């Protein structure tokens, strides 16, 4: 089984990571080893069975040596450092010459300041690792022996304007600091030591969000399973949905009256289930605004979401449900829920009808007898009126958010492109996310519901108080912006 070692030498970093681990989707077919300084952390020891956490006490040099001995004893060759600082301390202790490579969609740059001048074979090793040709700036071209076919650019702007398939090699630490270290979370960072590769989570404990650490750790797991090429290709696809956007989601959704939504859900539950409502689960909870309000009302509430970024935001709230990470189609671990709900068109993110059938089957198994499942959809009318060739703009405290939406009539897909310009120091950082939702027609969903073990009891719209099921259901998609489906486990 592939194994990955994650190492930190900083107790503050450990404090941050121990919180982040709560929602990271550790893959079951990988063995993780988390090495950290200090005393044993009870929260860390409660992670999954394939996550081995080890605390190391003593002076810094004793901790480093003990960690290194553990890595050698377990024959762990895939190592991921928590931060640039941890890696620098580690390399300094062993007097290793580590080349640090910064990779992003727009730029590949290697800090080769540790290398001697005459080392073309080491430079070629960097080129081979990232599958990019070598480039240098004119100001540095005479400072080291270059391989053949190296491209020389008059200045850094000339290099970036070409957007060519090259990696820039530099010994200029000021350039590295200004371009890469100032916004390190934009980069997937590799270290090359004696032709051995290690990775870096690029943790910055001063940053207000750490979502990029999840991304980098996901790339690390891809690295050990498929190789560094696959990890780099995955990184270049851009940011994962609801990663950066998660930190602005509550502001973006501030127009929603969550209390009204909850009141409606509870009312529909009481209409068909005579049993008292106690135990609730929210699927695809996002930042858990709805389930947090239910928890505040005294219900026993669990909530899950696929995005660790959204769960991290949810976990920061003073009153919250019991949170865990799971995809919408995953089996539900607990049973006997009185009510399970999934709202804000999360079902639309399931692009294949078979996935909806899976959700219905999983919900059936998790509900108590007479339990209720409620989900909503965004309809064709909503896509055509509010998302067809539309652009929305929002200014928040430290960023500008642009939402560009369109509707693909051939695939029945609603496409949303979110662009975020977030202020960082004196500049703005660019983040982009792309979301795809499928617009299901009501008759299609009714057929899926009827094929499940659940009984479809009602269809409601926020604009109408009465049950719309059986009343010209073919017209519902053109008459209402949002529809709620109410199902029950009858036995």
Which CATH number covers residue 12? 3.40.50
Per-residue model confidence (pLDDT) at position 232: 87
Residue 270 sits in the same domain as residue 336 = yes
Splitting the chain (491 residues) into consecutive groups of 10 residues, what average pLDDT does each group show? 94 90 88 93 77 93 96 95 95 90 91 84 90 92 83 92 87 93 87 92 83 87 90 74 84 93 96 96 97 98 94 94 96 97 96 98 98 97 92 92 94 94 81 92 97 97 87 90 96 72
How far is C-alpha 272 from the chain's CA centre? 37
pLDDT for 239: 61
Please tell me whether residues 357 and 483 are part of one structural domain. Answer: yes
Same domain flag for 295 and 172:
no
Examine residue 482 and state whether it is found in any structural domain, yes or no.
yes
Domain-located, residue 315: yes
Do 303 and 365 belong to one domain? yes
pLDDT (0 to 100) of residue 238: 61
Token pair belonging to 359: 């959700």
Is 421 within a domain? no
- Determine, yes or no, domain membership for 433: no
Q: Is residue 260 part of a domain?
A: yes
Secondary structure of 459-488 in HEC code, one letter for each residue: EEECCECCCCCCCCHHHHHHHCCEEEEEEE
Same domain, 261 and 307: yes
163 with 214, same domain: the answer is no
CATH of the domain at 329: 3.40.50.150
Q: Burial level of 352, CB count in 10 A (0-12/13-18/19+)? A: exposed
pLDDT at 18: 87
What is the tally of structural domains in the chain?
3
**Same domain assignment for residues 101 and 90:** no
**Confidence (pLDDT) at 450:** 97
One domain, residues 81 and 103: no
Domain assignment present for residue 153? The answer is: yes
CA-CA-CA-CA torsion for 376, 378, 382, 387, nearest 10 degrees?
A: 140
| Domain-embedded: residue 152 | yes
Domain, as residue range, for 268:
249-381+440-488
Answer yes or no: do 355 and 469 share one domain: yes
Q: Is 290 part of any domain?
A: yes
pTM over 0.75: yes
Together in a domain, 47 and 61: yes
Angle (deg, nearest 10), helices 289-296 and 258-272: 70
Q: What is the pLDDT at residue 260?
A: 95
Cα separation, 292 vs 271, whole angstroms: 23
377 and 335 in a common domain: yes
Same domain, 224 and 310: no
């Amino acid at each position: 089984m592939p194994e990955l070692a994650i190492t930190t030498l900083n107790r503050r970093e450990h404090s941050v990571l121990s919180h982040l681990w709560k929602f990271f989707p550790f893959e079951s077919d990988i063995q993780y080893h988390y090495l950290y300084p200090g005393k044993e952390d009870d929260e860390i020891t409660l992670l999954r069975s394939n996550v081995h956490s080890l605390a190391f006490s003593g002076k810094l040099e004793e901790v480093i040596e003990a960690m290194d001995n553990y890595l050698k004893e377990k024959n762990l060759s895939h190592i991921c450092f928590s931060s640039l600082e941890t890696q620098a301390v580690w390399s300094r202790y062993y007097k290793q010459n580590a080349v640090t490579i910064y990779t992003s969609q727009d730029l590949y740059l290697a800090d080769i300041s540790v290398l001697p001048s005459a080392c073309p074979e080491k430079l070629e090793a960097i080129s081979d690792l990232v599958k990019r040709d070598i480039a240098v700036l004119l100001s540095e071209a005479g400072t080291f022996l270059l391989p053949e076919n190296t491209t020389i650019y008059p200045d850094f702007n000339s290099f970036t304007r070409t957007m060519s398939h090259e990696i820039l090699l530099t010994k200029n630490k000021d350039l590295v600091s200004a371009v890469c270290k100032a916004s390190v979370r934009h980069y997937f960072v590799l270290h090359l030591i004696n032709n051995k590769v290690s990775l870096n989570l690029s943790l910055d404990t001063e940053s207000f969000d750490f979502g990029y650490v999840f991304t980098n750790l996901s790339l690390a797991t891809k690295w050990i399973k498929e190789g560094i090429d696959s990890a780099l290709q995955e990184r270049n696809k851009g940011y994962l949905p609801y990663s950066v956007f998660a930190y602005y989601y509550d502001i973006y959704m501030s127009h929603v009256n969550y209390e009204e939504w909850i009141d409606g859900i509870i009312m529909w539950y009481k209409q068909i289930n005579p049993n008292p409502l106690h135990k609730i689960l929210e699927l695809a909870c996002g930042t858990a605004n709805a389930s947090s309000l239910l928890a505040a009302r005294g219900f026993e509430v669990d909530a899950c979401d696929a995005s660790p970024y959204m769960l991290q935001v949810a976990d920061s709230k003073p009153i919250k449900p019991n949170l865990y990470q799971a995809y919408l189609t995953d089996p539900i671990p607990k049973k006997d829920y009185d009510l399970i709900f999934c709202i804000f068109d999360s079902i639309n993110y399931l692009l294949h009808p078979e996935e909806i059938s899976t959700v219905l089957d999983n919900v059936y198994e998790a509900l108590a007898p007479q339990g209720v499942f409620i989900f909503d959809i965004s309809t064709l009318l909503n896509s055509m009126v509010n998302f067809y060739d539309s652009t929305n703009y929002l200014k928040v405290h430290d960023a500008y958010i642009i939402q560009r939406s369109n509707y693909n009539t051939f695939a029945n897909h609603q496409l949303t492109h979110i662009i975020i310009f977030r202020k960082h120091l004196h500049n703005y950082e660019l983040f982009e996310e792309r979301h795809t939702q499928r617009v299901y027609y009501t008759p299609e969903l009714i057929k899926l519901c009827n094929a499940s073990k659940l009984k479809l009891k009602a269809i409601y719209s926020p604009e109408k108080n009465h049950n719309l099921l059986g009343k010209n259901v073919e017209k519902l998609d053109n008459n209402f912006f949002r529809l709620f489906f109410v199902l029950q486990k009858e036995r």
